[in-house]
């Protein structure tokens, strides 16, 4: 509905994919689809044991799945480090099995990737962000980082939900307002001006911004 690309498109040469869980997937997906270089996004379920889970089964907390956003991106335009910046800054990764008022294991913080280098960067970013979070008075990061985690696409009405006419504006994320400083040896690729479109000091920041992708300067 937003990017005009198939939500099940497989990464083409020069593209990569990852799954991110950071609270309710409605707001999380919008945060990612706005970034320059993102090719497609989809919401779904990952990290559990039940095959082909439904929204109701995931919400019950018994399927073991988290609500996640599948992101495919063009590596020539945006780097994994940029995506990690959005991920860490858009929610509170220290809250365990909840995000804001949403409680349950389906709202846990997680990163699922199958590329060894992306795993290394995800873990390095977690360790670096832990340092700055603790300096700011926050506790331990609970983010789950795993590989070989199947993605189950969510029901059609959840896809790009916040861009749908008549959608109920909602985002459970609780940003810490602590900037992510990056990872040594992995530079940001996006222009710094992109991040002015996100103001995590505002409650439910992603709901206030436009639905359209951010244009590069």
Q: Are 25 and 43 in contact (CB under 8 A)?
A: yes
Residues in contact with 31: Cβ distance below 8 Å, sequence separation at least 6, in sequence order? 86, 90, 198, 206
pLDDT digit string, tens, across residues 20-65 = 999 999 999 999 999 999 999 999 999 999 999 999 999 998 899 9
Q: Give the Cα separation of 34 and 213 in Å (integer).
A: 4
How many angstroms separate the most distant Cα atoms in the chain? 46
Domains belonging to the chain, first-starting first, are 15-197 (3.30.1060.10)
Strand partners, 43: 69
CA 209, CA 103: separation in Å to the nearest integer? 25
Query: Please, which residues have CB within 8 angstroms of residue 84's CB and are 6 or more apart in sequence?
Result: 121, 122, 125, 180, 183
Helix (H) or strand (E) run with residue 126 in it: helix 116-135
Residues 110-166 pLDDT 10s: 999 999 999 999 999 999 999 999 999 999 999 999 999 999 999 999 999 999 999
Neighbours of 206 (CB within 10 A): 24
Which tokens is 26 given?
Answer: 């409605």
Q: For residues 199 and 206, is the Cβ–Cβ distance under 8 A?
A: no
On whether the CB atoms of residues 17 and 86 are closer than 8 A, the answer is no
**Chain mean pLDDT for the chain:** 96
Catalytic residue selected from 22, 24, 90, 205: 24
Q: Is 24 among the catalytic positions?
A: yes
């Amino acid at each position: 509905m937003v990017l005009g690309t198939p939500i099940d498109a497989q990464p083409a040469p020069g593209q990569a994919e990852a799954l991110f869980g950071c609270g309710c997937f409605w707001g999380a997906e919008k945060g990612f689809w706005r970034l320059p270089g993102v090719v497609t996004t989809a919401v779904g379920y990952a990290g559990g044991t039940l095959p082909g889970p439904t929204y109701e089964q995931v919400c019950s907390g018994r399927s073991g799945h988290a609500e996640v956003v599948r992101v495919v991106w063009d590596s020539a335009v945006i780097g994994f480090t940029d995506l990690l910046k959005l991920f860490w800054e858009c929610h509170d990764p220290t809250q365990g099995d909840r995000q804001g008022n949403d409680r349950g294991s389906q709202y846990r913080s997680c990163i699922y990737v199958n590329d060894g280098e992306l795993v290394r960067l995800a873990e390095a970013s977690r360790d670096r962000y832990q340092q700055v979070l603790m300096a700011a008075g926050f506790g331990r990061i609970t983010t789950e980082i795993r590989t070989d985690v199947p993605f189950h696409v969510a029901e059609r009405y959840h896809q790009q939900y916040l861009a749908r006419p008549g959608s109920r504006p909602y985002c459970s994320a609780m940003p810490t307002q602590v900037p992510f400083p990056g990872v040594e040896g992995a530079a940001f690729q996006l222009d710094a001006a992109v991040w002015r479109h996100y103001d995590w000091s505002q409650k439910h920041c992603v709901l206030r911004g436009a639905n359209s992708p951010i244009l590069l300067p």
